[in-house]
Structure 1
Amino acid sequence: MLEGKLRQKQANTAVSPVTAPPTSPIAQPASPARAARAEIPGAAPSPTPTAPANNGIFGLADSPVPGLSIGAYGEIKFGAMQNPAANGQWQNGFDAHRLVLLPTYAITPNIIFNAEIEFEHAGSGFDSDDKLHGTAEIEQVWIDFKILDQFNWRAPGIDLVPIGYINQRHEPTQFYSVNRPELYNGLIPSTFKAGASSVYGTIAEGLSYQVQVSSSIEDFGGDFGLRTDAKTVPPFPAGYAPGISGLDALASSRPVRGDFQQLNNTLAYAGKLDFAPAFLPGFAGSVSAYYSPNVTPRGAYADTGDLLGRTSVGIFDAEFRYRVPQTGLELRGEYVHVNFSRPENLRANNDTDPTNNVGKSMYGYSGEIAYHVPLGTILNSEWEAVPFYRYSYENLQTGGFAGTDANAPTGAGQRQFHTAGLAIFPSPKLVLKATYQRVIDKSVAGALSDSFLGGVGFFF
């Protein structure tokens, strides 16, 4: 946000002031700049995003420290969902899912510090008194060196991997369902972040890029306590959980971000192109890819005790967003493909559990339709309602199984998601949501994981 504000100030100094158009999550090129945090659902496209005028301290007051800006976003969820572990019994719940603080500081107009400090699931305590089991973590921290519009450097820090759209713009005002879109719950392990450094810039109007080097994902699904002092998996025959599986995809394989706890020495590589062509107003999209030469942790073994070899992983994503000009109609679509070079070396195929096997590849796709309906002025602000429907399909257990487990898909990784709901925006900074989701898979019992959820999201 601060970067966008500084750029706007510089432009106003160079030329006579003009009114900047509002920005839009469906129509602007995705830039790594923090200016993306100013996006407003349903607004007109702008190739140069700008920050809100009042983005000092939580958007409420000017900052007392020149160059300092603090924002926040968060989600509160409630409702009912089926529990597959309880034979599909419907269970009610409430979740203070996340509260995120966004400090930004301009060390100079060309050297900018950014961070994202997140508290998940109501906190970080876990005992019989507070009944909390949450986390507190640094989700992002890095310093940008603004050199040219065409070339900028993001110094080593913790950064989002540039793959897909929602992974880099996952604030609750950027999507309409209560939970994040399904493709970002495993195929893309959102929030997908890592120790990383990158370069980025604008190639031409409406076309930008980012290239990143980062710590690799790893095929290890256990916590830090199971890692040995030698930074290996626990010794045989203790066993350990896979980070990549045919039930959860890559959800448990996220890179380690603290205390030199990586279980391999591999670097991963990612690149992304964002486009918003001027000849097609309201349209934007991206293509991106991620590659790790090896995700096998040190000392990885099958339940037989045999050591497991190397496995590379590649992820490809293509997505688009289109707000049809002069109408309320909005369309979105996305495709994700994950490929494994040697699935016979993945832990899930060697753990005596045939239900979580992984084939040669995984993939998924989704299509969404939404319509923006103005509700008029209520409580001194312009309200908008957005009914939507999204269809998603995932196949996490394709053919090509190999290893010591039985080589047969269980069907549990082949899922369809029918998601429908309503998002009401009292302000571009606030959204009230209601979502019903029907989940179908090919396992014997079925998915048994439907849900009816409500949510409150904010971002300022």
Structure 2
Amino acid sequence: MPLNLLTLPSRKLPGKFTLAFSAAMLAALSLPAMAATQQEVLEQKVDALAKQLEALQAELKALKAEKAEAAAAPAAAAPAATAATDPSAQPTRQDARAVAEHKEAFLSGYGEVNFSRYDHDASRTEATVRRAVFGIGYRFNDSTSFVSEFETENTVVSAEDGGEFEVEQFYIDHRFNDYLSTKVGLILIPIGYLNTAHEPTRYFGVERNNVETRIIPSTEREGGISLYGRTPFGLSYDIGLTTSFNLSNWDYASPEGVYSPLGSIHGELANSRASDLAQYVSLNYDGITGVNFGGSVFTGEVGQNQNVGVTASPRFTLWETHARYTQGPLQLQTLYAHGGFSDTAALNLANAGALTPIPKAYFGWLVQGAYRVWRAGDYALTPFVRYERFNTGSDYAGQPPGFGAVDRPTETAYTYGTSFFITPNLVLKADYQQYRRAKEDNRFNLGVGLQFY
């Protein structure tokens, strides 16, 4: 028979025992209800924690996506597949402000180590750190940045060695809007392809091509101000006012003057004479996928009030036009450059025995083809061939008897080689250069080049 505590006679149990026993029995009977309540509370807490965890996971996923998007920003401008075929499509150090969107200070740089063995004189065989370049930048805000670049050539800089140390760029960049920006300071002149895209990962060949180093002096830079931008329909522009060349430094017979007509007279903002200024205009169109073409003009008076023998200040003009076609693994490129001085007849006649002979014209052109034959991930192998014709001085009009200048012959150069990209920013190169006239310069080259930003 079931026990009913409520019907038990109280007289049969002591009072204290009865109360204690009854309380214990009531607690035992209420345990299932209490347990159910606690379980509901725990379940509510677990649900709340689960929701918090889901929110944290979503936030973490969003942060990862934002970070990946920022890291991919440079690659969006130049996918690895494109860079392997078209090194020039890679971003330059001038794009560092985009890479460093969430940074204030940033570091960039590039460099190359080269080896050359000459066919006809093994004693000229050499290996050198051709260039070691480091850039320091600072982002003031979303629109204004500072960009600089410092270059050491051939490792050692001293009176006894052939090295150089120079400031290659040093300017403030400010963006007004999506279509207009400005640079102020020591800037690269946007003429040709190579002058503003001269990192070793951005051109084919161990050495820079002849036309864009001898006719267009690489790297031509001056102090000044520029306005540049890009229109919505694919036309980019760059217009500038800069320091000009100094004709009184002209030296026809020096190795630098023989190599490049303008090599001895550009100022590079190293205590540059600034009585005469230069102007430039550069236009490029790439509104069609895989196609780029354009041209530029750089001109200015070069007398600099240095008494060069004529009343009016002579003017130099350097212009070029270029085009590039990239389709899949194929790239084709061509460029023509022409430079010259005004009033060369009067200059040569007035300066016999003072200034060395000044040519009226110098010019060069090239065609180049490259084809990526293999790619696996970041690895890519791209052979190329280049043909060049150039003349560093012709038409020495007006020279008096005994002045001795003769037109320099037009040279032809062939370059055959390949670039093996380990990543888009690290490349191994090999090529052979052959000259029709200066056969003593025929050589085999090896190189390694890198870029970071």
TM-score, shorter chain, exceeding 0.5 = yes
Task: State the 1:184 CA deviation.
Answer: 1.7
Which SS does the other structure have where 1:108 is aligned? coil
Equivalent residue in structure 2 for 1:144, among 173, 176, 186: 173
Task: State the 1:316 CA deviation.
Answer: 0.9
**Computing the radius of gyration over CA atoms, which structure comes out larger, 1 or 2?**
2
Equivalent residue in structure 1 for 2:308, among 300, 306, 325: 300
In structure 2, the CA distance between the partners of 1:202 and 1:51, relative to structure 1 (3 Å rule), is closer
Q: Corresponding residue for 2:32? A: none
Looking at structure 1, the residues matched to 358 and 311 of structure 2 have their Cα atoms a distance apart, in angstroms, of 15
Q: Corresponding residue for 1:95? A: 128
In structure 2, the CA distance between the partners of 1:351 and 1:426, relative to structure 1 (3 Å rule), is farther
In structure 2, the CA distance between the partners of 1:25 and 1:125, relative to structure 1 (3 Å rule), is farther
1:216·1:266 contact (CA, 8 Å) conserved in 2?
A: yes
2:87·2:203 contact (CA, 8 Å) conserved in 1?
A: no
TM-score, normalization: structure 2?
A: 0.74
Looking at structure 1, the residues matched to 173 and 192 of structure 2 have their Cα atoms a distance apart, in angstroms, of 21
The yes-or-no answer on 1:172 pairing with 2:200 is yes
Equivalent residue in structure 2 for 1:75, among 112, 115, 118: 112
Which SS does the other structure have where 1:204 is aligned? coil
Looking at structure 1, the residues matched to 325 and 123 of structure 2 have their Cα atoms a distance apart, in angstroms, of 36
Equivalent residue in structure 2 for 1:42, among 70, 85, 94: 85
Looking at structure 1, the residues matched to 247 and 128 of structure 2 have their Cα atoms a distance apart, in angstroms, of 29
In structure 2, the CA distance between the partners of 1:100 and 1:297, relative to structure 1 (3 Å rule), is farther
Q: Corresponding residue for 2:376? A: 376
Task: State the 1:104 CA deviation.
Answer: 1.7
Amino acid at match of 1:371: Y
In structure 2, the CA distance between the partners of 1:427 and 1:255, relative to structure 1 (3 Å rule), is same
1:288·1:317 contact (CA, 8 Å) conserved in 2?
A: yes
The yes-or-no answer on 1:200 pairing with 2:228 is yes
In structure 2, the CA distance between the partners of 1:220 and 1:438, relative to structure 1 (3 Å rule), is farther
Q: Corresponding residue for 2:54? A: none
Looking at structure 2, the residues matched to 424 and 272 of structure 1 have their Cα atoms a distance apart, in angstroms, of 32
Task: State the 1:451 CA deviation.
Answer: 1.9
In structure 2, the CA distance between the partners of 1:270 and 1:149, relative to structure 1 (3 Å rule), is same
In structure 2, the CA distance between the partners of 1:45 and 1:257, relative to structure 1 (3 Å rule), is closer
The yes-or-no answer on 1:284 pairing with 2:292 is yes
Q: Corresponding residue for 2:276? A: 266
Deviation per CA, 1:397-434: give whole Å up to 9, x if none: 33352223668874644111111111111110111111
Task: State the 1:387 CA deviation.
Answer: 0.7
Deviation per CA, 1:266-296: give whole Å up to 9, x if none: 1000110111023xx2111221001112346
Looking at structure 2, the residues matched to 67 and 348 of structure 1 have their Cα atoms a distance apart, in angstroms, of 56
Q: Corresponding residue for 2:247? A: 219
Looking at structure 2, the residues matched to 148 and 339 of structure 1 have their Cα atoms a distance apart, in angstroms, of 37
Looking at structure 2, the residues matched to 319 and 26 of structure 1 have their Cα atoms a distance apart, in angstroms, of 24
1:349·1:357 contact (CA, 8 Å) conserved in 2?
A: no
Task: State the 1:204 CA deviation.
Answer: 2.7
In structure 2, the CA distance between the partners of 1:422 and 1:458, relative to structure 1 (3 Å rule), is same
Looking at structure 1, the residues matched to 98 and 146 of structure 2 have their Cα atoms a distance apart, in angstroms, of 19
Runs of 5+ unmatched residues, structure 1:
1-11, 28-38, 57-62, 223-238, 302-306
Deviation per CA, 1:90-118: give whole Å up to 9, x if none: 52111111111111211011111111111
Higher helix residue share? 2
Task: State the 1:364 CA deviation.
Answer: 0.9
Amino acid at match of 1:172: P
User: Percent identity between the aligned chains?
Assistant: 24
Q: Corresponding residue for 1:35? A: none
In structure 2, the CA distance between the partners of 1:82 and 1:255, relative to structure 1 (3 Å rule), is farther
Looking at structure 1, the residues matched to 96 and 170 of structure 2 have their Cα atoms a distance apart, in angstroms, of 22
Looking at structure 2, the residues matched to 41 and 146 of structure 1 have their Cα atoms a distance apart, in angstroms, of 30
TM-score, normalization: structure 1?
A: 0.73
Amino acid at match of 1:196: G
Task: State the 1:182 CA deviation.
Answer: 0.9
Q: Corresponding residue for 2:447? A: 455
Q: Corresponding residue for 2:267? A: 255
Amino acid at match of 1:42: T
Once the two structures are overlaid, the 10-residue window that deviates more, 172-181 or 41-50, is: 41-50
Looking at structure 2, the residues matched to 150 and 200 of structure 1 have their Cα atoms a distance apart, in angstroms, of 8
Task: State the 1:366 CA deviation.
Answer: 0.3
Amino acid at match of 1:282: G
In structure 2, the CA distance between the partners of 1:367 and 1:353, relative to structure 1 (3 Å rule), is farther
Looking at structure 1, the residues matched to 434 and 189 of structure 2 have their Cα atoms a distance apart, in angstroms, of 30
In structure 2, the CA distance between the partners of 1:18 and 1:82, relative to structure 1 (3 Å rule), is closer
Amino acid at match of 1:174: R
Amino acid at match of 1:335: Y
2:299·2:316 contact (CA, 8 Å) conserved in 1?
A: yes
Q: Corresponding residue for 2:76? A: 22
Once the two structures are overlaid, the 10-residue window that deviates more, 145-154 or 406-415, is: 406-415
Looking at structure 1, the residues matched to 291 and 84 of structure 2 have their Cα atoms a distance apart, in angstroms, of 13
Looking at structure 2, the residues matched to 191 and 359 of structure 1 have their Cα atoms a distance apart, in angstroms, of 22
Q: Corresponding residue for 1:231? A: none
Q: Corresponding residue for 1:415? A: 411
